Structure 1
C-alpha cells in the first residue's frame, strides 16, 4: 500500500505528514472513517479540488477505504507549531471561540465536537491541531462558500456560516499556535454529546469484500 499511495505522499508528504507548502494537510493518524469520507467527497464532487477528483475518479469505495486505513495507521511525529504574526486580542478571541463558543450567536465551541484536547471524536471527527493557519482558514471559508460539503446534516457547514471572517481568522490563528500533545488520538465514539447532528458520524462504511 505504501507504493500505491505514492501519488498521495507526493503532495501530502512521507507517511502523510503534510506538504511543505502549508496547504496540503496532514493525513497521518486521522480517523479512517473521516479520511474515507473526504476521499469520497473529492471523488464525487462534494469537495472541490480538481486534481484530487481526477486522481480518485476511477477508484471504488472499498479501495478508498483501504487508502484511508493506511494513513490512519501512520503515527509520524508532529512538528512544532509555526507561529505567525497575530495580536494578543486576535488569539484571545480564537481561544474563546474554541473553548467556549459564542452562545449569543448559537456558535458551539470547537471542543464541543472535536474534544477537550481537540484530538477529534471517533469514528469521523478529526483533530484540529497540527494544521497550518492558512489551511484552517481556507477550509472554514470553503464551507462558508459551499465549496466543501459533508454528509447531511452537514454540521460544519452550519457552524461555519455562523462565523464572521474575523472569527475565522481568530480560530485559525489560535488553533495553529498550539503544540500537539502526545499521545494525540480521537476520543472514543459517543464519549461526547454533540451540540448538533453530524451526518459524518453515522455515514455508512463499505461492506466487507467490495464497494457499497
Structure 2
C-alpha cells in the first residue's frame, strides 16, 4: 500500500469516528511497586493460585520460611534452574521484601484433591501426620507444622492446600539430596526414615484436607518446644 493510500485510509477512519494511535506514542510507564516487580513470581505462583506439582502455593506461608527458600535456591541448596536464575543476584534485603509480600497474601484455597489412595493408606497417612511413628523415630507432622497444619511463624510452612504430587516430589528431593536446608537438615532426616508407601500415605491424606479459608500460620508458642529434631532453618527459641 502506497503512502497516499495510507493517508486516505487514515482520513476515512477519522471521519468515521475512529482515532488511530500515534506510532510515536510514549510507552506506558509501569508503576515501581513491589507488586509489579514480583510479577515474574506471580507468572507461575499466581496470587490467586491453586498450586500444582511444579509451582506450589506460596501465598500466606510464613515470611521466614519463604526467605529461607529463596536463599536456598540462591546458594544451591535447592535446585531448580528457573528459580536459581531469578534470585541469583538478589541481595538478602530484597529477598526479605519478597518473602514479606507473599506472606501477606491470602487467596482462597483450592478445593481438596480427589485422590485414589485406599482407606488403609489414608488411615496410615493420618496416623503419621497426627501421631508420627515412634518405632521409626518419625515425629508427628503436627508437632512442628501446628495442629491445624497451617505452619508456625516465623519459619515453619503450612502443609494444607498442597497437592499430593508436589509433596511426593519434595520428599523425593530430600531423599535424593536435590533439596537441602541449613544444617542440621531435619526434613532430610525425616524423609529418609519414611518408606515410599509412608510418603504416599502422608501426601494422599494431606491433599484431601479442606483448609479453613481464614487459616493463618500459628504463633511461635503454638507448638511445644524444643522441636522433636534440631532444624537449622528454624530459629532457636
Q: Same fold (TM over 0.5)?
A: yes
Equivalence for 2:96:
65
Structure 2 CA distance for aligned equivalents of residues 79 and 143 of structure 1: 26
Equivalence for 2:163:
132
Q: Is the 8 A contact 1:23 1:132 kept in 2?
A: no
Taking structure 1 as reference, are residues 16 and 162 closer, same or farther at Cα in structure 2, changes over 3 Å only?
farther
Q: Mapping of 1:34-183 within 5 angstroms?
A: 34-183=65-214
Structure 2 CA distance for aligned equivalents of residues 172 and 88 of structure 1: 14
Taking structure 1 as reference, are residues 188 and 37 closer, same or farther at Cα in structure 2, changes over 3 Å only?
same
Alignment partner of 1:2 is 2:35: yes
Which fold has the larger relative contact order, with Cα–Cα distance below 8 Å and residues 6 or more apart in sequence?
Answer: 1
Q: Is the 8 A contact 1:16 1:71 kept in 2?
A: no
Deviation at 1:197, TM superposition (A): 1.3
Q: Is the 8 A contact 2:132 2:140 kept in 1?
A: yes
- For structure 1, the 5+ residue unaligned runs are 204-212
Alignment partner of 1:196 is 2:229: yes
| Deviates most, 193-202 or 164-173 | 193-202
Structure 2 CA distance for aligned equivalents of residues 102 and 27 of structure 1: 29
Matched residues, number: 201
Structure 1 CA distance for aligned equivalents of residues 180 and 92 of structure 2: 18
Structure 1 CA distance for aligned equivalents of residues 57 and 92 of structure 2: 21
Structure 2 CA distance for aligned equivalents of residues 24 and 74 of structure 1: 16
Deviation at 1:17, TM superposition (A): 2.3
Please report the RMSD computed on the Cα atoms of aligned residues, expressed in angstroms.
Answer: 1.3
Deviation at 1:183, TM superposition (A): 2.1
Q: TM-score, normalised by structure 1?
A: 0.91
Alignment partner of 1:24 is 2:55: yes
Q: Is the 8 A contact 1:142 1:148 kept in 2?
A: yes
SS at match of 1:134: helix
Structure 1 CA distance for aligned equivalents of residues 94 and 102 of structure 2: 13
Q: TM-score, normalised by structure 2?
A: 0.82
Taking structure 1 as reference, are residues 163 and 101 closer, same or farther at Cα in structure 2, changes over 3 Å only?
same
